[in-house]
Amino acid sequence: GNSVTQMEGPVTLSEEAFLTINCTYTATGYPSLFWYVQYPGEGLQLLLKATKADDKGSNKGFEATYRKETTSFHLEKGSVQVSDSAVYFCALRQSLQGAQKLVFGQGTRLTINP
Amino acid sequence: DTEVTQTPKHLVMGMTNKKSLKCEQHMGHRAMYWYKQKAKKPPELMFVYSYEKLSINESVPSRFSPECPNSSLLNLHLHALQPEDSALYLCASSPWERAGGTKNIQYFGAGTRLSVL
């Protein structure tokens, strides 16, 4: 079946450091890929997405490129801020006859220290 | 408006109580979802409604009973829960997707944090 594997956390960085969170997937075909972010005490917010190979999703300084050769969708940011502290989930989408199922990775907790 | 609204934000209930969680969206989405999220874990899909009909039940115990009274509302009725059911319950919605569609996404509410005593 389809699955998503994320790098294990937690990840702790200093402000302005470079961030990479690795994500790889196993799937039939080429599913759409997503990064969702969950701030403390909140639900999930879509951070960025990519729907086909070589697409680059970007938002709020975060980027991720859909690499079908390596089945990866790694999240990067050049200079993190304290406000980026959150849990990040990589996910792929399976279509379910008009609806959809999101298959999530285990999540990576990110803490940014000032 | 891309908002999914869930009420209440917090709920404490005993194992003999009956309570309901509510979810509302006004984006015209015809697919709605309930997820359960335990601490430090990803969300787990519980139910999917498609055009107000239950299309997916991920083997959820019958003490959880979903209901979709109209295209904007989704309820989750709770009865005789166990302490291990304590979790964050998330509602989500998405547009109906034609075969091969790639552009729609799932929008999540802020969740109801449930504690079962």
Question: Helix, strand or coil for residue A82?
Answer: helix
A100 touches chain B (CB under 8 A): yes
Kindly calculate the radius of gyration of chain B based on its CA atoms and give it in whole angstroms. 14
**pLDDT tens-digit readout, B76-93:** 999 999 999 999 999 999
Residue B52's alpha-carbon distances to B32, B42, B103, in angstroms, are: 8, 26, 22
Residues A95-110 have a mean pLDDT of 88
Which residues in A lie closer than 8 A to residue B89 (C-beta atoms)? none
**pLDDT tens-digit readout, A65-92:** 999 999 999 999 999 999 999 999 999 9
The two three-digit tokens of residue B22, written as one number: 């509510």
Chain B closest-CA separation from residue A104 CA (Å): 6
Which residues in A lie closer than 8 A to residue B102 (C-beta atoms)? 32, 51-52
Contact status, residue A37 vs residue A110, Cβ threshold 8 Å: no
How much is the pLDDT for B101? 55
Share of chain A above pLDDT 70, in %: 100
Distance CA(A67)–CA(B32), nearest Å, equals: 30
Please spell the DSSP secondary structure of A94-112, one letter per residue. Answer: EEETTEEEEEE---EEEEE
Measuring CA to CA, which residue among B65, B61, B60 is closest to residue B20?
Answer: B65
Residue A63's alpha-carbon distances to A18, A26, A39, B27, in angstroms, are: 12, 21, 18, 27
Question: Helix, strand or coil for residue A59?
Answer: strand
A97 touches chain B (CB under 8 A): yes
**pLDDT tens-digit readout, B24-71:** 999 989 999 999 999 989 999 999 998 999 998 999 999 999 999 999
Distance CA(B60)–CA(B75), nearest Å, equals: 15
Please spell the DSSP secondary structure of B72-107, one letter per residue. Answer: TEEEEEEES--GGG-EEEEEEEE----TT------E
Closest residue of chain B to A98, computed from CA coordinates = B97
Closest residue of chain A to B34, computed from CA coordinates = A101
Contact status, residue A2 vs residue A94, Cβ threshold 8 Å: yes
User: Taking the C-alpha atoms of B43, B48, B18 and B89 in order, what is their torsion angle to the nearest 10 degrees?
Assistant: 20
The two three-digit tokens of residue B49, written as one number: 């409604």
**A110 contacts: CB under 8 Å, gap ≥ 6:** A9, A10, A11, A12, A13, A19, A21, A80, A84, A85, A86, A87, A88
